[in-house]
Amino acid sequence: MRRKSLATRRSMAQWVPDLLFGFKNLTTHKLRSLLTMLGMIFGVAAVVAMLSIGAGAQQKVMAFIEQLGVRNLIVEAKEAHNEQELQKVRKISTGLSLRDYQNIRRNLQDIQDGTPRKRFTPTKVLPKPQIEVPTVYGVEPSYLQIGHLRILDGRFFDASDNTASAPVCVLGAAAKDSLFGATPAIGEYVKLNEVWCHVIGIAGPQLAPQGEVSGVRSEDMNNIIYAPLNAVLYRFEDSQSWMKDEVDGLYLHLTSADTSATDAEVVRGILNSSHHNAGDFSVIVPAELLAQQKKTEQLFNTVMVAIASISLLVGGIGIMNIMLAAILERTREIGVRRAVGARKSDIVRQFVIEAVLISFAGGLLGIVTGFAMSRAIAWFAGWSTIITVSSILLAFVVSISVGMIFGTYPAVKAARLDPVEAIRYE
């Protein structure tokens, strides 16, 4: 134990003077040291900033997928864009219907709950919306849990409202602000086409996809008005109903996310059989989307780090270049040190320490620069950026490693100098 303690003290006694000496050499040539660090600074900053952009974008997408529900299966009807396309499909399939929903519920035991959905955009809305016309979702009361809705004020409609086809509705956050602004909406009425609906609840904000997410329709999930499914089916008139199915979506809540892939295949099989392989629907499996998104995130991070590491490589070459130049400048100093008893390992340690100090300082400045860049991007571009501890550690460790690797060759070259020739060098 005592021998280990003595060895540790000797090691510290060797390293501390070299650290101080290396720091002194760097501060003596401040501009040269700063220019040498630039490659490391920009390399580390690029790694931190790129990973923060990727993390911010991925977090939003993954949060939206989780909002869809990893225990859910979502069936979306593919709407016809014109009468010719509709007639072609209708010769094969009658479209998505309540019968399909009931058939799936009977044949798939893993379904815990579910609801059909009838969606349409009203042609007349009062009060007049300040932004785009809200989309009406006709769903059953179970959608409250399936769709992960939060009710901020009032209540969601219940089974009795749906059975009675009650003209009631719940406003999404953006729909409420668009129709009523800052005034309370509970107890007020909204006219959708020719039906006046009593506002009984306000839903909390929901996430919306920032782009295309594997077949998920891109729409503002907050600019929605929720109404009982039966009320939408039997009270409301959709001017384009001739182009649409009886219902246009099915939400199936499973007992476990582990069976989502196999259950999705069963649902596809049931619908392909009843629709005669018309291909007029798609089945969205959020659990699979989440797993796929995680793989995409890993690939994205790998590519971004690889691209940003080019700057670190350039910085490492700069360190090697400046250390080789320093050897020429300090050849006489190296000879004197060897002449008074310094070993080759002492010379190697001295120059490696100086190279690592350059990369260490460059790494610290790079982290600060990367943090500032990510904040500037978030401010000017409006993107979400997240700086993770892992990205900082990765960039910092790589920068130190680059300094150590590219500083080793010049250090070994300095240690191999002939002491006699080095002393005589001018």
Neighbouring-strand partners of residue 106 = none
Q: Are 156 and 149 in contact (CB under 8 A)?
A: yes
Q: Using the 8-state DSSP alphabet, how is residue 127 labeled? A: S
- Map tokens 């199915």 to a residue: 245
Q: What pLDDT score was predicted for residue 161?
A: 94
Find how far residue 299's CA is from the centre of its chain: 12
Find how far residue 358's CA is from the centre of its chain: 33
Q: What pLDDT score was predicted for residue 199?
A: 95
Q: What pLDDT score was predicted for residue 165?
A: 92
Which of 175, 172, 202 is CA-nearest to residue 187?
202
> What ranges do the domains of the chain cover?
16-64+292-424, 79-279
Q: How large is the C-alpha radius of gyration of the chain?
A: 33
Reduced to 3 states (helix: H, G, I; strand: E, B; else coil), residue 339 is helix
Q: pTM value?
A: 0.64
Tens-binned pLDDT, residue by residue, of the chain (426 aa)? 455 454 445 555 566 676 776 677 777 777 777 777 787 788 788 888 877 877 777 776 666 666 676 788 888 888 767 777 777 877 888 888 899 999 999 988 888 899 999 998 898 999 999 988 999 999 999 999 888 889 999 999 999 999 999 999 999 999 999 999 989 999 999 999 889 999 999 999 887 655 555 556 667 888 999 999 999 988 886 545 544 568 889 999 888 877 888 888 899 999 999 888 888 888 888 777 777 767 777 777 777 777 767 767 777 787 788 778 777 777 777 777 777 777 777 778 877 888 888 888 888 888 888 888 888 888 887 777 888 787 788 777 878 888 888 888 887 877 777 766 666 655
- Map tokens 């860049």 to a residue: 373
- Map tokens 């004020």 to a residue: 153
426 burial via Cβ count (<10 Å: 0-12, 13-18, 19+):
exposed
Token pair for 411: 């250090």
Q: What pLDDT score was predicted for residue 152?
A: 92
Q: What pLDDT score was predicted for residue 8?
A: 47
Q: What pLDDT score was predicted for residue 7?
A: 46
Q: Are 137 and 192 in contact (CB under 8 A)?
A: no
Between the alpha carbon of residue 355 and those of residues 25, 41, 148, the distances in Å are 11, 14, 54
Q: Using the 8-state DSSP alphabet, how is residue 111 labeled? A: E
Q: What pLDDT score was predicted for residue 109?
A: 87
Q: Are 375 and 289 in contact (CB under 8 A)?
A: no
What is the per-residue DSSP string for 268-289? HHHHHHHTTT---EEEE-HHHH
Q: What count of other Cβ atoms lies within 10 Å of the Cβ of residue 81?
A: 9
Ramachandran quadrant class, 382 (left: phi over 0; alpha: psi -120 to 50; beta: rest): left
Between the alpha carbon of residue 261 and those of residues 148, 250, 285, the distances in Å are 21, 16, 7
What is the per-residue DSSP string for 4-33? HHHHHHHHHHHHHHHHHHHHHHHHHTHHHH
Q: What pLDDT score was predicted for residue 237?
A: 63
Instruction: Quote the CA–CA distance of 265 and 279 in Å, as a whole number.
Output: 14
Q: Are 235 and 165 in contact (CB under 8 A)?
A: yes
Q: Are 111 and 253 in contact (CB under 8 A)?
A: yes
Between the alpha carbon of residue 218 and those of residues 1, 49, 61, 222, 354, the distances in Å are 67, 28, 12, 12, 54
